[in-house]
Structure 1
Amino acid sequence: MFFLKEVNGMNALGHTIKTYRERVNMTQEELAQKVRVGTQTIEKYESGEQIPSNQTILKLSTVLDIPAAELLAHSE
Structure 2
Amino acid sequence: MNLGEKLKHFREQKNMSREELAQKMNVSRQAVYKWETNKGYPDIDNLIQLSNLFEITIDELIKGDSLFQKKITIDDQKKSKDHFSDPGFYLGILLLVIGGIFLEDGALADALTILGLLTIVFYDDFKKLFWGIIRDFKEEKYK
TM-score for the superposition, normalised by structure 2: 0.44
Rounded Cα–Cα distance in structure 2 between residues aligned with 1:54 and 1:72: 11
SS in 1 for 2:46: helix
Unmatched tracts of structure 2, length 5 or more? 70-143
Aligned length: 66
Please report the RMSD computed on the Cα atoms of aligned residues, expressed in angstroms.
1.2
> Counterpart of 1:19?
9
Of 45, 49, 73, the match for 2:35? 45
Runs of 4+ that moved beyond 3 A: none
Q: Is the 8 A contact 1:16 1:71 kept in 2?
A: yes
Larger Rg: 2
* 8 Å Cα contact 1:20-1:64 kept in structure 2: yes
TM-score if structure 1 supplies the norm length? 0.79
Higher helix content, 1 or 2: 2
Identity of counterpart residues, as a percentage?
Answer: 35
Q: Which structure is richer in relative contact order (CA contacts within 8 A, separation 6 or more)?
A: 1
For each residue in 1:22-67, what CA deviation from the matched residue of structure 2 results, as whole angstroms up to 9, or x when unmatched? 0010110110011110000000000000011111111111112221
Distance 1:34 1:63 in 2: 9
Quick one: which amino acid aligns to residue 28 of structure 1? Answer: R
Whole-angstrom distance in 2 between the partners of 1:14 and 1:72: 9
| 1:14–1:48 CA contact under 8 A, matched in 2 | yes
- Among 51, 55, 60, the alignment partner of 2:50 is 60
Runs of at least 5 residues in structure 1 that lack an aligned partner in the other structure: 1-6
